[in-house]
Amino acid sequence: FIMATEIPNVIVGVDTHSDTHYVAMIDEHGKHLAAEEFLAVGSGYRKILSFITNFGLVIGVGVEGTGSYGAELSRVLRTAGLPVHEVNRPNRQARRLRGKSDPLDAYQAAESVLAE
């Protein structure tokens, strides 16, 4: 039987920008759990780490732009022992059709890690 206290597995997606990062989490079945925006600075990275690890066992983090806007966050997450994956930015044409949405982009980043 499954204990109610069993720690869920979560997958994180991050839509990175120069000033802020949008973080979204899904469970291992793809269910959207939470999304929040954080400042792209040291204190913001620590808040992201606290935010995502309070939801369960982080089994993957999809970060857009690990070589640019997401580089420092990726380093912080890897130092904490989390598995970080580079994810591609969403299709530009699809984004124009539905408009730019940071939460949606962050959820898509998490979903791409889940699909791997």
Is residue 2 one of the residues assigned to a domain?
Answer: no
Question: Can you give the residue range of the structural domain that contains 55?
Answer: 8-22+44-59+70-83
Query: Would you write out the chain's pLDDT as a tens digit for each of its 116 residues?
Result: 555 678 889 999 999 999 999 999 999 999 999 999 999 999 999 999 999 999 899 999 999 988 889 999 999 999 999 999 999 876 655 555 556 678 899 999 999 999 98
Determine the length of the chain: 116
Task: Please give the tally of structural domains in the chain.
Answer: 1
Is residue 52 one of the residues assigned to a domain?
Answer: yes
Can you give the pLDDT at residue 1?
A: 59
CB-based burial, 56-71: b 16+ in 10 Å, e otherwise: bebbbbbbbbbeebbe
Can you give the pLDDT at residue 69?
A: 92
Determine if residue 94 is left, alpha or beta; phi over 0 gives left, psi from -120 to 50 gives alpha, anything else beta. alpha
Is residue 54 one of the residues assigned to a domain?
Answer: yes
Is residue 55 one of the residues assigned to a domain?
Answer: yes
Is residue 16 one of the residues assigned to a domain?
Answer: yes
pTM confidence score: 0.87
